[in-house]
Copies of this chain bind each other. A is one copy, B any other.
Amino acid sequence: MSTVGPVKRLALIGVGLIGGSWVLGLRRAGLVSTVVGCGRSMANLDTARERGIIDDATTDPREAVRGADLVVVAVPLGAVGPVLATVRDDLAPDAVITDVGSAKASVLADAAEALGEHSARFVPGHPIAGNEKSGAAAAFPELFDNRRVILTPEDSTDTVAVERVAGLWEAVGASVARMSAAHHDDVLAATSHLPHMLAYSLVDTLSRWSDRDEVFAYAAGGFRDFTRIASSDPEMWRDICLANRDALVVAMDRYMADLSELREQVRAGDAAAIENLFRHARETRERFMATLES
């Protein structure tokens, strides 16, 4: 873990699960003095203040960033570009700006367009942690313990800014990896965005079943776990779909080709092919689980 100096004034635009948890972790590590929270509604900001996440609250992003040495943008992806454009002229000349969005190529494009000369100090980030809850009430400081954070800086990104953001993630228990935005978007389409589509679609399909109430009445524990991610925030996930559209469509197409093949094997009663697929999937998953636990 690199040594990292404290943040004097942190502007948090979007005081929700992710931004709120990062700040709580930084407070636990003694790494932040003052936090100004910004959101659209005072209700959530009041909760954040009561929970000790933020010191000051405002609904004006420009006011929030003034004098801040670190600006964290933790809003749904569709709001990142507009927020950056709004605050640009109020940023301190050496402010480090970072985000937590679940897709990265779109955020880099937004930052390049919105931030002008500040874009060299914009460090795109994505913590691989979270759950289906939202808002300041859901934040907790342990969220990033032993989790990964991916940073996707460009060659032109200020290395001091990158180191600073990396250090602040490590300080809350995360390990930091770097990769290109395009690669990040491909990997996350597979492991996160695609499963969310599958879960949302499953619940939607079942809600259209003719005997739907009975269908849900006989759903067991496996179903509950399987669809938990379908309780995720619709606005956030709409924005992820739009931001990572190309990679997500590729992932959905590959998946549907695979599922059609299995459907055909089931229809044909091809016992060996079906068992093969199940066995291979189980082995793959268990190998993966073992690496996680080791």
Subset of 13 A-B contacts with CB under 8 Å:
A131-B222, A132-B222, A190-B205, A190-B215, A191-B215, A191-B218, A197-B266, A201-B258, A204-B262, A205-B254, A216-B288, A234-B279, A252-B266
**Does A274 sit within 8 A of B, measured CB to CB?**
yes
A187 → chain B, closest Cβ, in Å? 5
Please report which residues of chain A, range 180-226, place their CB below 8 angstroms from some CB of chain B when the two chains form the complex: 183, 186-188, 190-192, 194-209, 211, 214-226
Which residues does chain B contribute within 8 Å of A196, judged by CB atoms?
Answer: 222
Residue of B nearest to A262 (CB): B201
Q: A206-B191, A230-B281, A238-B278 are in contact. Are A249 and B224 (CB under 8 A)?
A: no
Cα distance A130–B223 in the bound complex, in angstroms:
11
Given contacts A197-B262, A223-B195, A229-B222, contact A203 B281 (CB under 8 A): yes
What residues on B are CB-neighbors of A242 within 8 Å?
A: 266, 269, 271, 274
**Is A274 a contact partner of B205 (Cβ separation < 8 A)?**
no
Tell me whether B284 and A267 are in contact (CB under 8 A). no
Docked complex: A258-294 residues within 8 A CB-CB of B: 258-260, 262-263, 266-267, 269, 271, 274-275, 277-282, 284-286, 288-289, 291-292
A117 interface residue per 8 A CB criterion: no
Q: Which residues of A from 18 to 32 have beta carbons under 8 Å from B?
A: none
Q: Which residue of B lies closest to A225 (CB)?
A: B225
Task: Determine how close the nearest CB of chain B comes to the CB of A65; give it in whole angstroms.
Answer: 27
Say which residue of B200, B253, B254, B285 sits within 8 Å of A281 (CB atoms): B200
Tell me, yes or no, whether A232 is within 8 Å of chain B by CB: yes
Tell me the minimal C-beta distance from A264 to chain B in angstroms.
9
Min distance, Cβ A76 to any Cβ of chain B, angstroms: 11
CA distance A221 to B232 in the complex (A): 13
Contact call B191/A220, Cβ cutoff below 8 A:
yes
A159 at the interface (CB under 8 A from B): no
Judge whether B222 and A258 touch: CB under 8 Å.
no
Closest chain-B Cβ to A1's Cβ sits at a distance in Å of 20
Q: Are A232 and B291 in contact (CB under 8 A)?
A: no
